Structure 1
Amino acid sequence: MQGFIRYCSIVILILLLSGCAGVEKDKTSLNAKLTIESYNMSEKESLLISKTGVENIKFFKLNGILPEEDDLQFSVEVYKKGKLKEELLKSWGAIEKNYQDSFISFGVSDSNRPLKLLSGIPSGIASKTYSSGMTSSSFSNLISENVTLTKNKPVYLVAWLGTTKNELRSVRSKNGELPAGIEEAELAFLYKVLWTDKDKNLH
Structure 2
Amino acid sequence: MFIVLLTGCAGVEKEKPLSSAKMTIEPYNTSEKEKLLISKTGVDQIEFFKLDGNLQEDDDLQFAVEVYEKGKLKKELLTTSDEPNTKFEDSIISFGISNSNDEDSSLKLIAGIPFGVATTNYTNNMTSFSFNKLIGEKVTLEKNKPVYLVGWVGTTKNELRSVESENGELPVGIKEAENALIYRVLLTNNVKK
Query: TM over 0.5, yes or no?
Result: yes
Residue identity opposite 1:125 in structure 2: V
* Structure with the bigger percentage of helix: 1
Q: Which residue of the partner structure matches residue 25 of structure 2?
A: 36
- Displacement after TM superposition at 1:171 (Å): 1.1
Q: Which residue of the partner structure matches residue 68 of structure 2?
A: 79
Residue identity opposite 2:170 in structure 1: L
Residue 167 (1) aligns with residue 159 (2): yes
One of 90, 96, 101 as aligned partner of 1:107: 96
SS at match of 1:181: helix
CA contact (8 A) 2:52 2:91 kept: yes
Q: Which residue of the partner structure matches residue 6 of structure 1?
A: none
Counterpart CA distance in 1 for 2:122 and 2:140 is: 31
SS at match of 1:27: coil
Aligned-pair Cα RMSD in Å:
1.7
- Across the two proteins, how many residue pairs are aligned to each other? 183
Which ranges in structure 2 are unaligned for 5 or more consecutive residues? Answer: none
CA contact (8 A) 2:52 2:90 kept: yes
Residue 139 (1) aligns with residue 131 (2): yes
CA contact (8 A) 2:63 2:186 kept: yes
Which ranges in structure 1 are unaligned for 5 or more consecutive residues? Answer: 1-8
The structure with more radius of gyration: 1
- Displacement after TM superposition at 1:20 (Å): 4.4
Alignment TM-score, normalising by the size of structure 1: 0.85
Counterpart CA distance in 2 for 1:195 and 1:59 is: 19
Residue identity opposite 2:125 in structure 1: G
Deviations 1:5-41 (A, max 9, x none): xxxx9xxx8xx68x945x44x623xx12010000111
Q: Which residue of the partner structure matches residue 195 of structure 1?
A: 187
Counterpart CA distance in 2 for 1:123 and 1:98 is: 12
One of 113, 116, 119 as aligned partner of 2:108: 116
Residue identity opposite 1:58 in structure 2: E
Q: Which residue of the partner structure matches residue 122 of structure 2?
A: 130
- Displacement after TM superposition at 1:132 (Å): 0.5
Alignment TM-score, normalising by the size of structure 2: 0.90
One of 58, 68, 78 as aligned partner of 1:69: 58
CA contact (8 A) 1:58 1:158 kept: yes
Counterpart CA distance in 2 for 1:20 and 1:163 is: 60
Counterpart CA distance in 2 for 1:32 and 1:186 is: 40
